[in-house]
C-alpha cells in the first residue's frame, strides 16, 4: 500500500538486522549459521563449512511468523533450510522484490494528476479550487505513509520502504500546495513539515543502523499514539451526520494509546502485551488505509450518482499498485502487509470497478479484463509461492501466513 492507498511499525526495535552483521566486525552468531559452520568448542567461523551457505540465501531465508511478530526484521529459519529448488526460490525472492518496487509506478501515476492540477490552479491564481482537496484527509494519509515507512524500513524491505517514501513525498507536495493556497492553516503545515522531515531522517538513519535506539523508540511511540488516535476518529467521521459529530472517539483512543505505551515501558504488560503494543502503529496504519474503500463504498451507497465521477483508470491503478505488493507480503509471511495490500486490491480497486460496471460507467470488456487479470494474478501468486516452498498444498502457505509456524 502506498500514498493514500497503501498499504504496512512496531515500537520495540529488534536487534540489528542480520544483514548488518556483514558490515561489522562482530562475531557471527550461531543463531544465524548452522552449528557445523563453527569450530568445536570455540565461537570461530569455519570458512570451509561456510562455503556451503551463500550469504545471499541466508539473508532471504524467511521463517513463518505470527501476526504480532510481523515487525521483526527478516526473521530467519533456525538452522539451515535445504530447498531442493534453491534457484527457483531465490528467483521468486528477487521477483517479488521487483514487483514490490514496481508498485511505485501506478501509485505515482495516481498522485501526479492532482499535483499538476493544483499547480495549474495556483499559477492561474485560482486558489479557491484547491479548497476541494481535504487537507485533513491528506494529512491522515501522510501519517499512514510515515507509519508504514517506519515499518518497512525496520524490516529492511527496501522496495516497500521506497514506495512509502514516495507516498510521503507526493502527499507532502499536495499539502504544500494547499498551504500555498491558504486551504490549510499555516501552523498545521509547519508542524506537518517538522514531522515529515524528522520522520524521513530518522527512518534513513535507522535503516542503516546508525540511530540511537532510544530516539527511535520515541519516534515509534509518537506514531503509535498518533495512529491509534486518528483511526477511530476517521471511522466515526465517515458516518456523520447520521451520528453526532464528536471528537470523543479520537480523545478516548489518545488516552488509551498513551496509557498502553506507558505501561509497555514501565514493565506492567506481559510479553504478549508488549508485542501487541508494538504492532499497534503498523496495524493502525494498515486499518486506516483499509478504511478508505469502506468510506468510498459508503459514499457510493448514499450518492449513487457520484460513482460516475470515479475514474476507472484510477481504480485500475489502485488495484495494480496494491496487487504488485501481494507476492512479496506472502513470500515473507507478513500478515499485516498481505492483509492491507489484498484489501486495497480487492475492496478499493476492484470493488469500485464493479460499481462502475453495475452503473454502466465502463464497458464489459474493461470489467472482464480487470476480473480475469486479478484472479489470474492472485492464483499465480499463491501457486508460485507454494511451489518454491515445496509444499503440497497452498493451504499450508496460507496457514503459515496467518498463524505462523
Q: Please say if the pLDDT value at position 107 is more than 60.
A: yes
3-state SS of 102-147 is HCHHHHHHHHHHHHHHHHHHHHCCCHHHHHHCCHHHHHHHHHHHHH
Q: What residues form DSSP beta bridges with 38? A: 45
* Model confidence pLDDT, tens digit, residues 108-149: 898 888 899 899 999 999 988 888 777 877 888 888 889 999
Contacts of 131-137 with C-beta under 8 Å, sequence gap 24+, read: 131/181, 131/183, 133/174, 133/178, 133/183, 135/175, 135/178, 135/183, 135/184, 135/188, 137/4
pLDDT of residue 85: 62
> What's the rounded Cα separation, in Å, for the pair 264 and 158?
29
Q: Please say if the pLDDT value at position 248 is more than 90.
A: yes
Pick from 348, 361, 358: which is nearest to 316 by CA? Answer: 348
Query: How confident is residue 12, by pLDDT bands cut at 50, 70 and 90?
Result: very low
* 235 CB neighbour count, 10 Å cutoff: 17
Q: Please say if the pLDDT value at position 35 is more than 80.
A: no
pTM: 0.74
pLDDT of residue 42: 45
Query: How confident is residue 88, by pLDDT bands cut at 50, 70 and 90?
Result: confident
Query: How confident is residue 278, by pLDDT bands cut at 50, 70 and 90?
Result: confident
Q: Can you tell me which residue has the cell 529492511?
A: 156
Q: What residues form DSSP beta bridges with 62? A: 76
* Model confidence pLDDT, tens digit, residues 38-70: 444 444 444 444 344 444 443 444 454 554 555
Q: Please say if the pLDDT value at position 80 is more than 90.
A: no
Q: Please say if the pLDDT value at position 18 is more than 60.
A: no
Amino acid at each position: 500500500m502506498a500514498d493514500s492507498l497503501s498499504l504496512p511499525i512496531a515500537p520495540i526495535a529488534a536487534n540489528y538486522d542480520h544483514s548488518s552483521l556483514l558490515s561489522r566486525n562482530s562475531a557471527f552468531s550461531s543463531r544465524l549459521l548452522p552449528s557445523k559452520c563453527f569450530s568445536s568448542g570455540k565461537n570461530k567461523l569455519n570458512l570451509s563449512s561456510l562455503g556451503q551457505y551463500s550469504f545471499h540465501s541466508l539473508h532471504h531465508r524467511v521463517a513463518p511468523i505470527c501476526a504480532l511478530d510481523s515487525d521483526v526484521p527478516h526473521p530467519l529459519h533456525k538452522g539451515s533450510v535445504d530447498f531442493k529448488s534453491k534457484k527457483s526460490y531465490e528467483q521468486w525472492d528477487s521477483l517479488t522484490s521487483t514487483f514490490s518496487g514496481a508498485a511505485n509506478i501506478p501509485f505515482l501515476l495516481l498522485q501526479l494528476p492532482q499535483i499538476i492540477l493544483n499547480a495549474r490552479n495556483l499559477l492561474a491564481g485560482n486558489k479557491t479550487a484547491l479548497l476541494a482537496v481535504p487537507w485533513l484527509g491528506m494529512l491522515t494519509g501522510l501519517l499512514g505513509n510515515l507509519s508504514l515507512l517506519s515499518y518497512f524500513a525496520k524490516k529492511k524491505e527496501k522496495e516497500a520502504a521506497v514506495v512509502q517514501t514516495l507516498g510521503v513525498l507526493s502527499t507532502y507536495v499536495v499539502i504544500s500546495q494547499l498551504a500555498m493556497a491558504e486551504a490549510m492553516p499555516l501552523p498545521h503545515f509547519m508542524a506537518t513539515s517538522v514531522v515529515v522531515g524528522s520522520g524521513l531522517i530518522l527512518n534513513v538513519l535507522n535503516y542503516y543502523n546508525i540511530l540511537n535506539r532510544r530516539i527511535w523508540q520515541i519516534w515509534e511511540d509518537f506514531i503509535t499514539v498518533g495512529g491509534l488516535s486518528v483511526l477511530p476518529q476517521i471511522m466515526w467521521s465517515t458516518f456523520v451526520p447520521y451520528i453526532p459529530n464528536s471528537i470523543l472517539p479520537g480523545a478516548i483512543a489518545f488516552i488509551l494509546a498513551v496509557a498502553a505505551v506507558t505501561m509497555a515501558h514501565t514493565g506492567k504488560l506481559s510479553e504478549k502485551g508488549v508485542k501487541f503494543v508494538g504492532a499497534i502503529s503498523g496495524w493502525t496504519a494498515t486499518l486506516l488505509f483499509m478504511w478508505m474503500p469502506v468510506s468510498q463504498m459508503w459514499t457510493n451507497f448514499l450518492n449513487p450518482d457520484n460513482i460516475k465521477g470515479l475514474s476507472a483508470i484510477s481504480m485500475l491503478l489502485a488495484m495494480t499498485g496494491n496487487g504488485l505488493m501481494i507476492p512479496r507480503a506472502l513470500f515473507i509471511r507478513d500478515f499485516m502487509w498481505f492483509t492491507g495490500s489484498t484489501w486495497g486490491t480487492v475492496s478499493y480497486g476492484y470493488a469500485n470497478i464493479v460499481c462502475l460496471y453495475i452503473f454502466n460507467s465502463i464497458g464489459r470488456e474493461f470489467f472482464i479484463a480487470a476480473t480475469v487479470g486479478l484472479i489470474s494474478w492472485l492464483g499465480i501468486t499463491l501457486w508460485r509461492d507454494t511451489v518454491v516452498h515445496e509444499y503440497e498444498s497452498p493451504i499450508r502457505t496460507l496457514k503459515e501466513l496467518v498463524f505462523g509456524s
